[in-house]
Structure 1
C-alpha cells in the first residue's frame, strides 16, 4: 500500500491519478462509472494530450496502450445502449466531440493507442467500479467519477510488490473479466519499482491544472505491513432483474455476490446484534441525496449527516460525502464503489477491496475522522 487520499473528485484526480497517468510508459487502464464535462475531464484530456506531445518529441518505439471505460454519459446514451456484453466502442471521430478527449491525430503522433468503451444494461445496471491501473505496477481505487460533483471522495493507492499473485493482478483479472477478455494477463511485466518510489515521483510531477480542496488529506501507508494475503477484491456482479416486490410482507434477498456476502449480510446481522448488546453504532450519510434509495434507521444508533464545513466558500469544499468505507472491529477495512443502497445491492456492478490489518484500519479511520471534523450534523445520538 502507498497512500490513502481524501478530497474532491477534481482534487484527487489532479493530485494523484493524473500524475500517475503522466508517467505511464506501457499501459493505462481507466475505469469509471459516470462521464461528464467537468474540471476533472478537462484536466484528464490535457494530461493525455501533454503526454502524447511529450512522446511525439521522444519518438518511443513501443506504443502506449490506453483503455478508458465508463458506463453512464447521459439518459439517452443509456436508453439506446447495446445490450451486448462486448459493450459499445466509440469511434475515434467521437473522442473529442462527444467525450472531450484529445483528437486521434494528437494521440497517434505520440504512438498512443486509445480505445474507449461503455457498458450498460437496461433497465438499471450501471458498471459502478472506479479504478486506474498504470503499467500493471500501480493501481488507484477512487470513489469519484469523471464528473463535476464537489463531494468528499477517497482514493486508495496500491503498488505492486510481487511479480505474480499481487493485489494488482486481482484488479487486472476483474478488468479482464468485465471489460477486455482479450487482455493478455500473462504478458511480461516491467521491473517492479522500489517500494515507495512511485509515490515520490508522482508527487514531484504536479500538473499545471492541480485543483485543491479544503478537504484534501493524504495518509502514507508505506510503512504499514499489508501482505498480499490480507487484500481481497470483492466484486458485486450486476443483475438486470431489480427484484421489485410490491407485497409489503415480502422482502426479496439481495443476490449472493462476494461484496454483498461480505458487507450487507454481515453488516445487518452485526448491527442488530450490536444494538441488542447496547453497543453504539455510528453512521455517516448524506442529507437530501438519493433519498428514495436510503434507509434511515433510528434507535440508539449514532447517525450523522455530512455537510459542508461552515465558513468555507471554496468551490471544492465538499457538499456531500461520496466516500464508501466500512471498518469492522478496528481490523477489517472495506473501500471501493459500493453504496449501502438497493441499487448497489441488487442491480449495479460494484467492486470493493477488503484489507485486513489493525494498523491499516487505524490509519484510515484517523484520516477520515480528521476530514469529518466540522462537517457532521447529528441526527440520532445515544441518550
Structure 2
C-alpha cells in the first residue's frame, strides 16, 4: 500500500529543484533538510506484507490496470491525470487470500494510488511498472530521499532517442559530442576518474565548448563531480577540488586558462567507508540527460548508456542537485527553466524530444555506415564533432564498417581492441549479413513513455542493513511479478536477496536468463561477506532448485562473450569484459543505470537507475544486447555454473571454489595486485 505520508510527499508542489529556483544562493542540501527533515532511518524495518507481489501486476504489460485472482480477471482503464487527482487513502492493510496473494481490491487500490504519484504524460503505465513503482515508493516512508530525488519527481515520462551498447570509449564519444554542443550548462557526475582515452575525449570537449562559447560571446557553467576518498572525507564527504588539483596529473581536466569561457567547479564525494559515488550521469542545458554504466578510465568493458529527453530530465537534474549538496559557485543558469517546459533557451537546431520522430532500425544504420566510409573517426588526437545525434550514429557506424581487405569480424576486433591494454586476436566466426555490430541504437519513439528513477543513496557503514531502497525494491518487484521472463546483464550477480527471488520466479514458471562477466572482480567478490564469485552465486541458485525439476530448464546462465570471440575471457586478462547493467521483465519494463547486482551496489554505493515502461524500447535494448556480443552463441555455463569448453575444461583464469579462509587470502592478494596495476 502507498501510505498517506508518501502520497503527501509525491503530491507536494515543492521539490529541491523548485525551491532552489526561488533562492539560488541556498545549498541544495539545506533545502532538502528543510523540506524533508532528518528522519530516523529504520534500516531493519521489513517491507510491508508480501502482498506487494501482486498477481495483477504480473498478468500482463498493457495500458490498462488489472486486478486478478486465481479464477477471474477484471480489466479497467484509468486515465492519467498528471498528479492532479484528489485521492483519499484509508491506509488500510492488504487483504490476503489463502495463497498469499493480495485480494483484487487491495492490489487495484495499490496500483491506483501509485498511478497518482507520478507525472506520466499521455501514456498510462502498465500494471507491472506501477507495481514496481509502488514497491519503490514504500521506501520513502522511512526516508523521503531514499531515491536521491524529490518524491514528486520520482515518477515521470520522456523518450530515449539513443542507446549506446558499446566499448567504454564509444560511450564517451557520445558524451563528448553532447558536451561540445552544450550552450549554457553541463552537469557531469561519475565514479572513477583517471587519465585515459575517455578522459581525453571529455577534456577536449570542454576545450571545444569553451571555444564555441567564446565565439558566441557567452559563458557556460560546468559542474563536475567524481568519487574520491580522502582523510578529509571523514569530516565532510563532499570536498571541493582546486583547479591545481583537478588539472594535475591524476585528473587532467583543463585548467581555467585553457577554458577561459567556462565557469568550472569540481567536487569529490565519498561517504566513508563503503559509500562510493557509483552513479554516472550527465545533464546538459536541462534538456538532455545521459545515464551510463561506465567510469572515466581505460578498460576493456562493454558499457551501456541511455540518452533521455523530456520531463524525466528534471528528475535527473534534481538528483544532481541533491548529490552536489553544496552551494553553487557560480549558480546554475537553469534554475528557472525546467525540462518539462523546454529547458534552457538555446539556439540549437537539432530536433529534441518529440520532434525527433521514430527511430531507424539497425539494418539501415549498418548500411548507412558502410555507405559513408569517407567520415573520419572521432578520437582525442583528431576530434570530429557532429551537429546532431543522427550524424553521430553514422560516424560511429563507419568505425565498425569494413575497410578495404577487411572482414566484419576483423572490423569488430579492431574496435574492441581500441584502448585495451592487452589486445587479442579474433576467435569467433565471421559476422554474417544482418548481424553487423551496431553500437549506437536508435531507440526514438514518437511519443513519451512512463519512466521512474529507482536509485539509492550512499551508505558507508560496514554492514548490510541499508537494503530497503527504491533500487532494490524495484528490482525485486519486477522479479516477483514477472509472468513470463526476466533478463539481466550485469558484471556480477551475487547479492544475497536476489538469489532466492530468482529461485522463486523459476518456481512460478518464469524463464530467467542472466549474463555475467567471467571472473569479474573475483578478488573483491571472494572476500567473505561480499557475495562470492559468479560461479559460487550460480551454484547457490542451483542448490535452491530440484535437480530433476522444470525450474532448471527455465534457468539460463551465460558468461559474456565479445562480438569477436567464441569463448569468454576471464577478467584477469583485461581483454574482453562487460560492465552493462540492465534488467528487463516480461519484455516491457526495463531498468538501466549504474547499479550492479552485487553486494556493493545493493547495500552501499550511490546509484542511479531509470525504469522505462515500453515494449518498443525494451525490444530494441534486447536487440542491441544480442547483436553486439556473442554471449548467447558461446557463453552458456555448464550444469555446475562454470563455463567449460567442448572438452569440459573450465575457462583459463577460473579461481575455483575457495572457502572462507582461502577466499580471504586470495581476495586480499588480488586486491593488492589490482591496486599495484592501477
Sort the TM-score into its range (normalised by shorter chain). Answer: 0.7 to 0.9
Matches for 1:1-383 after TM superposition, within 5 Å: 1-14=160-173, 16-56=174-214, 58=215, 60=217, 62-72=218-228, 78-85=229-236, 87-97=238-248, 98-108=250-260, 111-160=261-310, 166-182=311-327, 186-188=335-337, 189-191=343-345, 194=352, 195-196=355-356, 201-204=388-391, 213-214=415-416, 216-223=438-445, 225-227=447-449, 230-243=450-463, 254-264=466-476, 267=479, 268=498, 270-291=501-522, 292=525, 293=530, 294-295=533-534, 296-298=537-539, 299=542, 300=552, 301-308=555-562, 309-310=564-565, 319-373=576-630, 376-380=634-638
What displacement does 1:254 show?
Answer: 4.9
Q: Which of structures 1 and 2 has the bigger CA Rg?
A: 2
1:216, CA displacement in angstroms?
4.8
Whether contact under 8 Å (1:53, 1:106) holds in the other structure is: no
| Alpha-carbon distance in 2 for matches of 1:319, 1:81 | 36
Q: How far did 1:307 drift?
A: 2.9
Q: What do residues 133-152 of structure 1 show as CA deviations (whole Å, max 9, x unaligned)?
A: 11111111111111011201
SS of 2:596 mapped into structure 1: coil
Secondary structure at 1:339 match in 2: coil
Alpha-carbon deviation of 1:17? Answer: 0.8
DSSP-derived class of the 2:628 partner: helix
Larger strand percent: 1
Residues of 2 paired with 1:41 and 1:148: CA distance? 9
Deviation at 1:8, TM superposition (A): 1.1
The structure-2 alpha-carbon separation of the partners of 1:101 and 1:49, relative to structure 1 and needing over 3 Å to count, comes to: same
The Cα shift of 1:286 comes to 0.8
Aligned to 2:112: none
Q: Distance in 2 between matches of 1:303 and 1:326?
A: 14
Aligned-pair CA distance for 1:204: 3.5
TM-score (normalizing by structure 2): 0.48
Contact 2:237 2:272 in 1 (8 A): no
Is the partner of 1:158 in helix, strand or coil? strand
- The normalised TM-score by structure 1 is 0.83
What secondary structure is seen at the aligned counterpart in 1 of 2:637? strand
Describe the shift of the 1:180–1:63 C-alpha distance in structure 2 as closer, same or farther (beyond 3 A): farther
Query: Structure 1: where are the runs of 5+ without partners?
Result: 73-77, 161-165, 244-251
* C-alpha displacement of 1:65: 0.3
Q: Deviations over 1:231-289 (max 9, x none)?
A: 0001211111231xxxxxxxx66521110111146544652233213444211101111
Report the 3-state secondary structure (helix = DSSP H, G, I; strand = E; otherwise coil) of the residue aligned with 1:128.
coil
Structure-2 residue corresponding to 1:248: none
Aligned length in residues:
352
Question: 2:240 and 2:466 mapped to 1: Cα distance?
Answer: 31
Q: Secondary structure at the match of 1:5?
A: strand
Question: Which whole-Å deviations, capped at 9, do the CAs of 1:334-357 have from their partners, x for residues lacking one?
Answer: 000000011011111111110012
Write the distance in 2 (CA, Å) between the matches of 1:338 and 1:331: 19
Structure 1 residue 200, shift from structure 2 partner: 6.6
* Deviation for aligned residue 1:107: 1.4
Cα RMSD of the aligned pairs, angstroms, is: 3.0
Question: Any unmatched runs of 5+ in structure 2?
Answer: 1-159, 338-342, 358-385, 401-414, 417-436, 480-497, 543-551, 568-573, 641-678
Contact 2:566 2:630 (C-alpha < 8 Å) held by counterparts = no
Secondary structure at 2:318 match in 1 = helix
SS in 2 for 1:340: coil
Contact in 1 for aligned 2:288/2:308 (Cα 8 Å): yes
- Alpha-carbon separation, structure 2, partners of 1:345 and 1:63: 40
Q: Greater helix share, 1 or 2?
A: 2
Answer 1 or 2: higher relative contact order, Cα 8 Å, separation at least 6.
1
**1: distance between equivalents of 2:230 and 2:441?**
41
- SS at structure 2 position matched to 1:119: strand
Q: Distance in 1 between matches of 2:447 and 2:216?
A: 40
